[in-house]
């Protein structure tokens, strides 16, 4: 089947399920309307459902929670979750939240493995969690629709049954969309051993090894003996970041700068939350390793998006001119490193800070 045929089939499937979703939502809404004269709170439930649909769709929330729960069951740790412009993320041992400037996706979640064992199975399980939770939500409240007397609160959650069913089924459909691959496509690629899936597994394997170990314990082939993937593949920037981090950690600065420059080529296409972290790497590298003030000045304004993070403190230490200011940032960064959940990343940051002190 050609790519064009697959795209048409995906659009037809989406249109049919979307029509059924609208029809199902209307039927549920009509049931609530019949009770409005008895209780005005049904109006309130409907209004709140409309507000939720705009601000934080219940189906998107359920989907991302599903990924997090399945990831936790698979032995993974929370990194971040995003709903529209709201991003909740882990920094050290604390949970923080911030609003991003752009709303690139309705929802997304990130977790990292505790070890490198059975990575393919863990990733498949994690990927299926979002859609599974959507379907479970729909099944639970659809059962209540037929068996439990209606109430304003129950009516609110039942209004999202068709949308959750739509979200779950479409996430299982293997396809490439404007916002990326569906969960079903990721699972299909993992099963077939496609290039992008292999790179994703290598990234997760490296993260698993870094949870308790260091870059010294990562075989170079894991990060460099990998298939070629497109630059717009989500796994590509994650792989690049691990590659230049590995090279800088090993003292192979010239090779690391080459990888860093490849990241610069795709910088404008990166998601907002990744841009800030990568900008910290640019500022550090071009102030302490490659000595390029133009690059430092170019990416310095982007640091604000990573303010307070370990990468931010390290970048500020690297760019600081006054000795006292530099020592202050280094001290704060070392304190932050103690809270870093990935031991290998903490060790890498300490090595970077040692280089800054010697500069």
Same domain? 167 vs 25? yes
Same domain? 70 vs 186? yes
Secondary structure of residue 204 in the 3-state scheme: helix
Q: Could you tell me if residue 233 is inside a domain? A: yes
Tell me the average pLDDT across 34-40. 77
Are 290 and 257 within 8 A, CB to CB?
Answer: yes
Q: What is the pLDDT of residue 40?
A: 82
Q: Could you tell me if residue 198 is inside a domain? A: no
What's the whole-model pTM score? Answer: 0.87
Query: Which helix (H) or strand (E) segment is 76 a member of?
Result: strand 76-83
Q: What is the pLDDT of residue 1?
A: 63
Number of structural domains (the chain) is 2
Instruction: Evaluate if residue 198 carries a pLDDT over 90.
Output: yes
The residues near 296 (Cβ < 8 Å, ≥ 6 apart) are 282, 283, 286, 287, 319
Same domain? 323 vs 353? yes
Same domain? 138 vs 180? yes
Mean pLDDT of the chain: 90
CB-neighbour burial class of residue 95 (10 A; exposed 0-12, middle 13-18, buried 19+): exposed
pLDDT digits (tens, 9 = 90+) for 124-158: 999 999 999 999 999 999 999 889 888 889 999 99
Same domain? 179 vs 215? no
Secondary structure of residue 178 in the 3-state scheme: coil
Are 10 and 173 within 8 A, CB to CB?
Answer: yes
Q: Could you tell me if residue 224 is inside a domain? A: yes
Q: What is the pLDDT of residue 33?
A: 78
Tell me the residue range of the domain where 222 lies.
210-358
Are 27 and 93 within 8 A, CB to CB?
Answer: no
Same domain? 318 vs 223? yes
Q: What is the pLDDT of residue 185?
A: 93
Q: What is the pLDDT of residue 247?
A: 95
Instruction: Evaluate if residue 104 carries a pLDDT over 80.
Output: no
Same domain? 80 vs 168? yes
Same domain? 94 vs 243? no
Q: What is the pLDDT of residue 145?
A: 87
Same domain? 75 vs 127? yes
Same domain? 151 vs 241? no
Nearest residue to 204 (alpha-carbon basis) of 79, 336, 289, 91: 79
Confidence of residue 102 (pLDDT cuts 50, 70, 90): low
Q: Could you tell me if residue 87 is inside a domain? A: yes
Where among 158, 191, 224 does a domain terminate? Answer: 191
Same domain? 241 vs 326? yes
């Amino acid at each position: 089947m050609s790519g064009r045929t697959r795209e048409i089939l995906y659009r037809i499937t989406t249109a049919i399920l979307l029509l059924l979703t609208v029809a199902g939502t209307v039927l549920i809404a009509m049931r609530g309307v019949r009770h409005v004269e008895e209780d005005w709170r049904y109006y309130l439930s409907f209004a709140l459902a409309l507000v939720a649909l705009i601000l934080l769709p219940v189906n998107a929330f359920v989907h991302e929670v599903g990924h997090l729960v399945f990831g936790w069951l698979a032995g993974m740790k929370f990194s971040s979750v995003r709903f529209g412009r709201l991003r909740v993320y882990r920094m050290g041992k604390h949970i923080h939240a911030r609003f991003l400037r752009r709303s690139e996706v309705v929802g997304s979640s990130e977790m990292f493995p505790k070890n490198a064992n059975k990575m393919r199975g863990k990733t498949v399980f994690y990927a299926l969690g979002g859609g599974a939770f959507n379907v479970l939500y729909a099944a639970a409240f659809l059962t209540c629709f037929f068996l439990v007397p209606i109430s304003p609160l129950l009516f609110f959650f039942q209004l999202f049954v068709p949308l959750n069913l739509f979200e779950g089924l479409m996430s299982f459909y293997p396809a490439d969309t404007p916002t990326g691959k569906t969960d079903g496509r990721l699972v299909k690629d993992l099963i077939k051993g496609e290039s992008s899936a292999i790179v994703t597994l290598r990234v997760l394997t490296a993260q698993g090894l870094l949870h308790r170990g260091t870059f010294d314990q990562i075989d170079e082939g894991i990060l460099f003996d990998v298939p070629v993937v497109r630059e717009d593949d989500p796994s590509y920037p994650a792989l690049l970041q691990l590659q230049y981090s590995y090279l800088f950690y090993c003292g192979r600065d010239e090779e690391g700068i080459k990888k860093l420059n490849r990241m610069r080529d795709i910088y404008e296409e990166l998601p907002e939350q990744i841009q800030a972290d990568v900008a910290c790497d640019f500022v550090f590298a071009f102030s302490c390793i490659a000595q390029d003030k133009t690059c430092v000045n170019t990416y310095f304004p982007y640091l604000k998006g990573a303010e307070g993070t370990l990468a931010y403190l390290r970048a500020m230490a690297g760019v600081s001119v006054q000795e006292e200011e530099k020592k202050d940032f280094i001290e704060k960064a070392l304190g932050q490193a103690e809270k870093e959940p990935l031991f290998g990343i903490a060790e890498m940051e300490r090595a970077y800070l040692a280089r800054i002190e010697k500069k």
